[in-house]
Structure 1
Amino acid sequence: MESTPTRVVVWSTGGVGAVAVSAVSTRPDLELAGVWVHNPDKIGRDAGVLAGGPPLGITATGDAAALIALKPDCVVYAASGPQRDTAALPDYERLLRAGINVVSTTSTGLVYPPAYVLPQWRQRLENAAHEGNSSFYASGIFPGFASDQLGLLLATQSRAIRTITLSEVSLNDHYPVADVMMDGMGFGRPLDFAPALSIPGYLEAAWSAPIRLIAAGLGARIEEVRGTLDRRITDRAIEVAFGTIEAGTCGAVRTRAAGVIDGREAIVVEHIIRMARDVAPDWPSSDCDATYRIDIDGDPDIHTTMTLGAPAGYGAGRAAMTATAMRVVNAVPYVVAAPPGLLSSLDLPDTLPRNVFREITAHPAGVREREG
């Protein structure tokens, strides 16, 4: 006897949300029950078309109450943009209290809830989850899989570890949100401009969750997190998705956060983002535009590189969005089955996908899956 499909609502149809709409609609164990959109121009349109695929017969809506009234089993929350985390918190609370499980790529600080920087909200969400008998899980690719589970998996080979470094090296010229890239990270601004990344304590807070998740998984205690920011200018104008980065302004950003154990920096998360390959040539680089490295200095030394996508066709930007979306879409059945509360990757088994052996054909918005 076949089980009833898990009913899912996807929250937004941006890059990650569009992948989620396509993935959920093609999974026989999942049923797309509804889609939420923020842009008024998208309201009333077919969700499948908004996601770049064929019509699905599901109309996108901006009415959160109507979607809650559908009583889905889970919401895939993929809203993005400035202030997205703060705006998402009341939504999470409302959904959890209504008995709806939530998986999210929006609030990366909640990949390890015990380390969340807003303890009052953490408690509110915990209370809502227990009141509604529901669960919450956040993940992605970085923060997410490449900054937590991949490192922990490799550490299963270790006898002793001096340091574990988790790195992303990426070309992000495809990212279109100007506020995030310019005001948040400083791209296209002179080096005397103070982006959000430079606010004292920002980096420590931003990367505390994956660092503390790794530490908890390995039974260690973090004494403090130390953050550093480095930026480099471009000597030529660079055309990117959000506009033009003029010569003499920031074209590459490198952040580093280190978790201190026993007085030394033991767990390091490093993020290198370029707007063109030739900026900051002395920094670590990669032939692939989305590269993730795990380096364990210990007994034994372990070095692993994971790349997503390819330079042409199904490229790294689209691949990273797909990987981000699928981290939570694949987790839906596991989160629905989990006890109520705020979850991390330490609380779930491997969120192995189902129904993944499909023929894949390209279409203008990315990929379309077809049963093989």
Structure 2
Amino acid sequence: MTADRPLRVVVWGTGGVGARAVAAVADRPDLELVGVWVHAADKDGRDAGELVGIGPIGVTATGDAEALVGLAPDCICYAASGPGLDAAAADDYERFLAAGIDVVTVTSAGLVFPPAYQPALRRRLEDAAAAGGATLYASGIEPGFAGDQFVLTLLTMSRRVESVRVQEIFGYHGYPVEFTMREVFGFGQPLDHTPLMATPGAQAGTWGPPVRMVAAAMGVELDEVRETYERAVTPRRLEVACGVIEAGTVGAVRFETIGVVGGRDAIVIEHVNRMAADVAPEWPTADRDGTYRVVVEGDPGMQAELTVGTPETFSDEGMVATTMRIVNAIPAVVDAEPGLVSSLDLPLTLPRHAF
């Protein structure tokens, strides 16, 4: 505990991460869940514990944002989700920070390394944090760990580094959010369709910050951050969580966000995502679905694989990991100096009362 009392926390949203955050905060003796924000009218006024499936906890969910800010919590655990939410989320962060409330968030991947965030929004948030004396921290499993903090931990064993590549090798057949799957990644679309991920700069906004974080921590000057994006069609009809992927449409995507040093690809975050395991077999694979692989070329050469859960549970347990990256950070963020911080600025955000 930072003080002689539990830290008072509001959870913002009850989607995949928010629901898990409600349960995690409610279970911790060093944290006190004092409020939960919901967007849907049919959730307003209901017990937050019942909403997330853990039974009544005596905290009523509300859509009244001002009332929650008025509670003056120590920290808001921000887990609102939805397409194009980043700008709206920044407005929320600005209001919270100016009110003196610390924020931990999974919503804005670009804030994993604040110096790489959109300059105009960053300045607004920095001003609000200074005015309110508050702190903001963004994290997750990737971005937020696999492509940055995990990589840097491995590099503490390096004498010389030629390159480092992080691969996410995941099947996306279990992801139900249709807009994200179809319009962002391009699954189920014909090859003449241009998804958001193929738009120049789209990847750099999400995976550029962890690439830049690794470069900054290593004292490396990047020439540029560039992107690649390619697709493969499925030869057969696939029925997946987001709907039907017809034969002849995109069934796998592969893209890279690349930090160039001295004219060569030096820091790379690569995603290989399929709707079925046998689509694009020529692309990188892993022994099991749901794998993060780090390959370091240098002295010594290293390869490490991170898997969460089992091949059947990795999607759900990966959500737990994502959630706990910010819930576990709450005490450290409350203790931190005001401003926008990254993992480089915090101690290890280890869980409390976990055993």
TM over 0.5: yes
> Residue 341 of structure 2 aligns with which residue?
343
Which residue of 329, 332, 344 maps to 1:331?
329
- Whole-Å separation in 2 of the counterparts to 1:140 and 1:196: 21
Q: Does the CA-based 8 Å contact 2:165-2:267 persist in structure 1?
A: yes
Which residue of 315, 318, 343 maps to 2:316?
318
The one-letter code matched in structure 1 to 2:322 is T
1:53-68 superposed matches below 5 A: 53-68=54-69
> Residue 366 of structure 1 aligns with which residue?
none
Instruction: Report deviation, 1:296.
Output: 0.5
Q: Does the CA-based 8 Å contact 1:8-1:75 persist in structure 2?
A: yes
1:153-302 superposed matches below 5 A: 153-302=153-302
> Residue 7 of structure 1 aligns with which residue?
8
Instruction: Report deviation, 1:119.
Output: 0.6
- Does residue 78 (structure 1) correspond to residue 76 (structure 2)? The answer is no
Instruction: Report deviation, 1:58.
Output: 0.9
- Whole-Å separation in 2 of the counterparts to 1:328 and 1:207: 18
Instruction: Report deviation, 1:201.
Output: 2.3
> Residue 52 of structure 1 aligns with which residue?
53
Instruction: Report deviation, 1:51.
Output: 1.2
Q: Does the CA-based 8 Å contact 1:288-1:316 persist in structure 2?
A: no
- Structure 1 unaligned segments of length 5 or more: list them: 358-372
Q: Does the CA-based 8 Å contact 2:290-2:311 persist in structure 1?
A: no
Instruction: Report deviation, 1:286.
Output: 2.5
Counterpart secondary structure, 2:146: helix
Instruction: Report deviation, 1:290.
Output: 1.6
Instruction: Report deviation, 1:206.
Output: 2.6
Deviations along 1:178-236, one digit per CA (max 9) or x if unpaired, are 11111111111011100001112222333210000001111111120110001111111
Instruction: Report deviation, 1:241.
Output: 1.6
The one-letter code matched in structure 1 to 2:214 is I
> Residue 309 of structure 1 aligns with which residue?
309
Q: Does the CA-based 8 Å contact 2:226-2:258 persist in structure 1?
A: yes
Deviations along 1:300-328, one digit per CA (max 9) or x if unpaired, are 0010001011133xx01101111100000
Q: Does the CA-based 8 Å contact 1:288-1:308 persist in structure 2?
A: no
The one-letter code matched in structure 1 to 2:198 is S
- Whole-Å separation in 1 of the counterparts to 2:205 and 2:275: 25
Instruction: Report deviation, 1:44.
Output: 1.2
> Residue 360 of structure 1 aligns with which residue?
none
Counterpart secondary structure, 1:39: coil
- Whole-Å separation in 1 of the counterparts to 2:196 and 2:107: 18
Counterpart secondary structure, 1:68: helix
- Whole-Å separation in 2 of the counterparts to 1:76 and 1:128: 17
The one-letter code matched in structure 2 to 1:123 is R
Normalising by structure 2, what TM-score? 0.97
The one-letter code matched in structure 2 to 1:175 is Y
The one-letter code matched in structure 2 to 1:48 is G
Identity %: 56
- Whole-Å separation in 2 of the counterparts to 1:10 and 1:151: 29
> Residue 109 of structure 2 aligns with which residue?
108
- Whole-Å separation in 2 of the counterparts to 1:261 and 1:275: 33
Q: Does the CA-based 8 Å contact 1:105-1:140 persist in structure 2?
A: yes
- Does residue 18 (structure 1) correspond to residue 16 (structure 2)? The answer is no
- Whole-Å separation in 2 of the counterparts to 1:241 and 1:40: 25
User: Which stretch shifts more, 281-290 or 270-279?
Assistant: 281-290
- Does residue 27 (structure 1) correspond to residue 28 (structure 2)? The answer is yes
Instruction: Report deviation, 1:87.
Output: 1.5
- Whole-Å separation in 2 of the counterparts to 1:90 and 1:126: 12
- Whole-Å separation in 2 of the counterparts to 1:344 and 1:68: 24
User: Which stretch shifts more, 248-257 or 198-207?
Assistant: 198-207
Q: Does the CA-based 8 Å contact 2:143-2:206 persist in structure 1?
A: no
Normalising by structure 1, what TM-score? 0.93
Alignment length (residue pairs): 354
